[in-house]
Amino acid sequence: MTSVVVSETAYAGSIGPSETDVSHHVVFANMAMEASSEPVSIRDMVKGWDGSVESGRYAWADVRLQAGIAAVDQFGSRWMIGWQKRWHYDLTFSDGMVRYYDALENGTALSGSETLKLKARTLQAEGPMASWRFSLMENRLMLTPTVSLYQVSKWQFGELNGLASSGDTESASAVLDYQFNEDKILEYQPDDSPGYGVSLDVNARWQLRPTTVLDLAVADLWNLFRTESSGYTSACVNFNDPAETVCDSDVTASGKSGDKVFYGRLRPTITASLSESEYQARLTLLSHGDYLRVGVEKDFQLNEHWRLTTAGYSSRQLGLGVASDWFSLAVKSDDLRAASARDASVNVSINIPLGF
């Protein structure tokens, strides 16, 4: 079985066989990572901003570890059950927030007033997943919904809107609406009860003509996460008597903190590919919020069992992948130096036939 993780549509976590496979069962294990950060490298976004900084609007990543059993045929997975662990980070912000945070991290002064805007949707979760394929139009159109159930161990959802005046970065004003399992701003200690959630992914495969296939996948097409006892803070925060304020408070922070029921949602991720088997090539697309990547991928059959894939993308990434009947690896990056990459993708899949 050859995994489809070499192409964009693998992002939704689907697995699929080579064209020569007949129906059989496999045990599979996948690791899929997509990450992109506009203002700084992915490493600096995680570790601290000590490298070059550019203007930007977003930083996001989705990492999934999956394992399970599937029944596959020449069209892909007929059904699948498994378990996955997931890390999802989705941050959007203003250019002013980037300049303010850069100055704060490096101890420099702001040259002018900045508008501060930040929105966060992040979580860490794990749980079972299952899918089933439906065939229509004499197998020309196939739909595969995947349902994932989650126990959520960590979450950060919220918005910040504010102003920072020129000069000292420790002087700022902001309105905060924030739900969390761990308060990273005002250090309120909430109940540590886990949350729960459900998400629906949908894959569609349409045989346009004998050699042309359109694949479309929407991850988190519908999703809902609920925490019975989430920490929350709704506050006006004015640090060090700022010259400009967005709210009124006689003290550094005023508002409410406590525990409450919280419902959160993730934004969907869309992937698509248009494949032409006659040329062993495809056009691909990945979209999440403000992030958009298009690309061209080309396969080269090395021998009966192994295939090499090369690719180029609008995100300045280059891609390289290898795949066989039981293993595949695909890597995309905009920089050969891992610590400097701002756009990166890694997909690894192992599929072991069960013999029935």
Each residue's pLDDT tens digit, 173-201: 999 999 999 887 777 777 778 999 999 99
Phi, psi of 6 (to 5 degrees): -65, -25
Phi, psi of 338 (to 5 degrees): -55, -35
| CA separation for the pair 281, 186 (Å, rounded) | 52
Rounded to two decimals, the pTM is 0.90
Q: Which tens digits make up the pLDDT trace of 214-229?
A: 999 999 999 999 999 8
Smallest CA-to-CA distance from 12 within 192, 143, 151 is with 143
| CA separation for the pair 136, 66 (Å, rounded) | 28
Amino acid at 95: D
Contact 316, 307 (CB under 8 A): no
Q: What is the mean pLDDT of the chain?
A: 89
Residue 205 scores a pLDDT above 50? yes
Q: Which tens digits make up the pLDDT trace of 108-136?
A: 888 888 999 999 999 999 999 999 999 99
| CA separation for the pair 179, 156 (Å, rounded) | 6
Residue 81 scores a pLDDT above 50? yes
Task: Say whether 334 sits in a helix, a strand or coil.
Answer: coil
| CA separation for the pair 204, 202 (Å, rounded) | 7
Q: What share of the chain is helix, strand, coil (3-state, %, to 5)?
A: 10, 60, 30
The whole-number pLDDT of residue 72 equals 83
Residue 304 scores a pLDDT above 50? yes
